[in-house]
């Protein structure tokens, strides 16, 4: 019964994903540029991360930190509305964000590996 409830909650979160995708996916020009250079990428946990070995400016670090804080707030609100954990909400949103990654961008999959799309 718990599994059925979680599945239903996940469907609810997925149904709302288009609503949250815009604020969650929105990034500044500096972050978009860093994503196109495989300096920053989407991760399976729903947050932006830094690709190992990349040189990251302090401006990009600040911007990524701000975006991740905004995402955490959005995930928490959505999770509360749907009766699921923040981690579930973030992971489901991450799936969508990773699918939307453009060619040449790097993403970190569920196994923790960075791959170029």
pLDDT tens for 76-103 read: 999 999 999 999 999 999 999 999 999 9
What's this model's pTM, rounded to 2 decimal places? 0.78
pLDDT at 111 over 70: yes
Cα 80 to Cα 12, 13, 83, distances in angstroms: 12, 11, 5
| pLDDT of 46 strictly over 70 | yes
**Is the predicted pLDDT of residue 72 greater than 80, yes or no?**
yes
Q: How many Cα neighbours within 13 Å face the side chain of 82?
A: 27
The pLDDT of residue 6 is above 90: no
Question: What local confidence, expressed as pLDDT, does residue 27 receive?
Answer: 73
């Amino acid at each position: 019964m718990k599994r059925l409830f979680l599945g239903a909650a996940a469907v609810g979160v997925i149904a709302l994903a288009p609503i949250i995708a815009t604020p969650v996916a929105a990034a500044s020009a500096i972050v978009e540029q860093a994503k196109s250079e495989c300096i920053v990428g989407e991760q399976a946990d729903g947050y932006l991360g830094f690709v190992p070995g990349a040189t990251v400016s302090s401006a990009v670090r600040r911007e990524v930190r701000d975006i991740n804080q905004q995402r955490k707030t959005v995930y928490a609100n959505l999770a509360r509305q749907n009766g699921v954990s923040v981690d579930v909400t973030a992971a489901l949103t991450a799936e969508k964000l990773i699918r939307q990654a453009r060619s040449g961008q790097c993403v970190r999959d569920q196994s923790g590996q960075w791959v170029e799309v």
